[in-house]
Amino acid sequence: MAKPRKKLQKKSPVAARLSPAKICADEARYMLQTYRRPPIVFTHGRGARLYDSQGREYLDFLAGIAVNALGYANPRIVKVIRREAGRTMHVSNLFHNPYQAPLARKLAEWSALDRAFFANSGSEAVEGALKLARAYAHARAGNGRAPKTRFLALENSFHGRTFGALSVTYPAKYRQPFEPLVPGVEFVRFNDVADLESKFDGTVCGIIIEPIQGEGGINLVSDDFWRRARELATQHGAALIADEIQAGMGRTGRHFAYQRFDSLPDIVTVAKPLGSGLPLGAFLASNEFASVISPGMHGSTFGGGPLVCAAALEFLSIVEEKNLLANVRERSAELRAGLEKLAAQFDFIREIRGEGLIIGIDLSIEGGPLVKDALSRGLLINCTHEHILRLLPPFIISRRDVAEFLGKFERVLAAASKSARPSASAASGAQAPARAAALAAAR
């Protein structure tokens, strides 16, 4: 591996005591093998830069998969967390804390929905959203009539790993090892209005849509599809749920990705960047849907604790005060222009997709080796569906960061053009079918 440029960044006191080889060996021995990780141990970061235990610097265009919207060690976030850690890290939801209400109020302003419930992760927010759709259907069914119970979701969706969230997640590789899942879920072909119409009937209690699919490969839901989903949900008294966990909270240059459409969802899920790196998820709902919940029906021990809610409030204030949505849009325009130039230069780039700072680079070759090469050059990116490179940089990146990224990325592409292998899934036009088929065959 070529060594990335070394910057004069002092090793952290923790890093000085770490042996990456020992850490990797202990992980291999003592942890469930759920992740495939490079042999690097990240110890600290600042802004959009991350540093490993050897003091090497990386420009982070992945941001913890859309979590670290303010980059690392934002002084205002650090200050709030220190302050709250010295007060109460946890107060039971049997009691009020100072930060839930102002955070819920701010989220209502950002989303144009009415009420929030706080959870601890994206999956948990999705669970809550699905439960709310069911509860609404039960409440509406009334005297002796059977409630509607089915859910619709989209092909290539990703909504999480818990049973409910997994049930509305499309790829077979995530689902099959854990079946049976929650019954009554049907998947609609992406942006296929006719398929939507044929599957949406009076037995559906909710449809869940990522306005921009993240794990699915940065796919944008069309205006027509969204409009029809809105109409059908209203017609059948079902919930239109927008999963904004990856694309929401400012990443598109709007507060939420659904704000590019002309109608609102009934329920919205958020997580990733909300807690500034601390675990916090939420679902937001219109009064119409929220009104079916009464005390005791849903809850959480940790969800919405004072420490994490204070950090989230600070995050939202920083986004507003520093006008970060404008920065997202401006840096996005520079990044997109640079990437389009590279696409004209390298014919294995098929398409650049996305909005704001959620960008997919669709390749006709395997993306994994490019991610590895980028890492060796001090650049953090990621690949989804084997051939779609994904960029999710922090909202705070500068013009200089974009220029540095484009320079390094061009070298990654140039190296790939000499050695690349065509991607099987890209060539077939289908997304990641090979592994799913192999899994199915193995059963």
246 sits near ligand PMP (criterion: CB under 6 A): yes
Out of 4, 45, 214, 265, the only residue in the binding site for ligand PMP (CB under 6 A) is: 214
Q: Is 258 in the site for ligand PMP (CB under 6 A)?
A: no
CB nearer to ligand PMP: pick between 244 and 401? 244
Three-state DSSP at 331 gives helix
Q: Which of residues 57-86 bind ligand PMP (CB under 6 A)?
A: 65
Question: Does 271 contact ligand PMP by CB under 6 A?
Answer: yes
- Between residues 111 and 123, which has the closer beta carbon with respect to ligand PMP? 123
6 vs 162: CA distance, rounded Å: 41
Q: Which two tokens stand for residue 164?
A: 């409910």
Nearest to 238 by CA among 190, 186, 191, 194: 186
State which residue, 257 or 420, has the beta carbon closest to ligand PMP: 257
**Contact status: 160 vs ligand PMP (CB under 6 A):** yes
* DSSP three-state, residue 214: coil
Buried b (16+ CB within 10 A) or exposed e, 5-27: eeeeeebeeebeebeeeeeeeee
Residue 353 CB, shortest distance to ligand PMP, in Å, is 16
> How many of the chain's residues bind ligand PMP (CB under 6 A)?
15
8 A C-beta contact, residue 173 and residue 436: yes
Under rule CB under 6 A, residue 366 binds ligand PMP: no
**Strand order from edge to edge, sheet including 49-52:** 42-46, 49-52, 57-60, 379-380
x/- map, 11-50, ligand PMP, by CB under 6 A: ----------------------------------------
| 238, burial (CB in 10 Å: exposed 0-12, middle 13-18, buried 19+) | buried
Instruction: Report in angstroms the alpha-carbon separations of 421 from 350, 382, 435.
Output: 15, 18, 17
Closest separation between CB of residue 267 and ligand PMP, Å? 13
Per CB under 6 A, the segment of 116-124, 363-371, 383-391, 418-426 that binds ligand PMP is: 116-124
CB of 213 to ligand PMP, least distance (A): 8
CB of 119 to ligand PMP, least distance (A): 9
Report d(CA 17, CA 156) in Å as an integer.
Answer: 43
- Cβ proximity to ligand PMP, 34 vs 143, nearer residue: 34
Q: Which is nearer to ligand PMP, 59 or 271 (CB)?
A: 271
User: For ligand PMP, which residue of 69, 113, 245, 313 counts as binding (CB under 6 A)?
Assistant: 245
SS3 string of 362-417?
EECECCHHHHHHHHHCCEECEEECCCEEEECCCCCCCHHHHHHHHHHHHHHHHHHH
- Enter the tokens of residue 372: 């590895």
Residue of 68, 111, 121, 219 interacting with ligand PMP (CB under 6 A): 121
Q: Quote the tokens at residue 57.
A: 């610097």
The reply to whether 159 sits near ligand PMP by the rule CB under 6 A is: yes
Name the residues that contact ligand PMP, by CB under 6 A: 65, 121-123, 126, 158-160, 210, 214-215, 243, 245-246, 271
